[in-house]
Amino acid sequence: MARSALMNVMTQAATKAGRSLTRDFGEVQNLQVSMKGPADFVSNADRKAEEIVYQELARARPEWGFLMEERGAVEGRDPQHRWIVDPLDGTTNFLHGIPVFAVSIALERDGQIVAAVVFNPVQDELYTAEKGGGAFLNDRRIRVAARTKLHEAVLATGMPFMGHGDQARFLFEMRRITGETAGIRRMGAASLDLAYTAAGRFDGFWERELQPWDLAAGSLLVREAGGFTTATDGSRFEFLQGDIACGNELIHRALLGELKHADNAFRAGRQPAAVPAPEAS
């Protein structure tokens, strides 16, 4: 597949940062780690990867701005274009030696995401999409899964953790959706959850209270793979607002229905029924 000049710039930045992360991942126990907040860490590897992405993109398009996880907002001379970057999505996985993390880069043009790259360096999987051009995994076209029944579907989500997210609401959602699906997975990297949904590995994904850099690239992958994206309440998806539900048309619709049931129960103050403990083997 012939890539556009823009996509070549983005993939070069992502793969170069990914190679740096892979080297550091091999020495994860020796990394210096500082606290950003409860259970939310940032490492030297994270900062180094972000600097690589920043330098690569700024050299190629010097007038464009940035929104980056560590560096924050960087104003550009061109107000129409902005790079949205997560140099290490899955930092907690990375620091615990779990090989599930990614570099995520999106291009925002006039408020819309028009190009996306998500690179999983451990598996050497490069997900790419440009608006109107489809979604690809290592240059092979990908599509969302074709399953139509929720009870056959495997969904992904993110879980609230210490100091982050509404744990009470999440318990209602998990109880409702666990009982209606073939399984729930929690990867710990939203960009990969969305990429896996685009590739048909997951049938759908939902999560609340995410950051723009968590959602920007992956959401375009899903749409370009034929999927549907909305907010968790079914309203228009906006990557700056932080929550998403997605999947193919029928799974997405069914997922929204289950989320609505869970939200109604949550607001009514009913306690979620306990999930049965697994039997000992």
Question: Which residues belong to the annotated binding site?
Answer: 69, 86, 88-89, 214
Residue 69 · residue 49 · CB < 8 Å: no
- Calculate the CA 33 to chain-centre distance: 23
Strand order in the sheet with 244-247: 183-185, 154-157, 204-207, 244-247, 228-230
Residue 255 is which amino acid? L
Show the tokens assigned to 205.
């994904």
Q: Which two tokens stand for residue 75?
A: 């104003």
Whole-angstrom Cα distance, residue 245 to residue 35?
30
Cβ atoms 194, 188 nearer than 8 A: no
The annotation places the binding site for Mg(2+) at: 69, 86, 88-89, 214
Residue tagged 């050497």 (tokens): 124
Q: Which amino acid is at 249?
A: E
Residue appearing with tokens 């994904």:
205
Cβ contacts of residue 254 below 8 Å, gap of 6+? Answer: 150, 180
Query: How many C-beta atoms lie closer than 10 Å to residue 275's C-beta?
Result: 11
Phi and psi at residue 124, to the nearest 5°: 55, 50
Give the position of tokens 């995994």.
137
Tell me which DSSP letter residue 159 carries: -
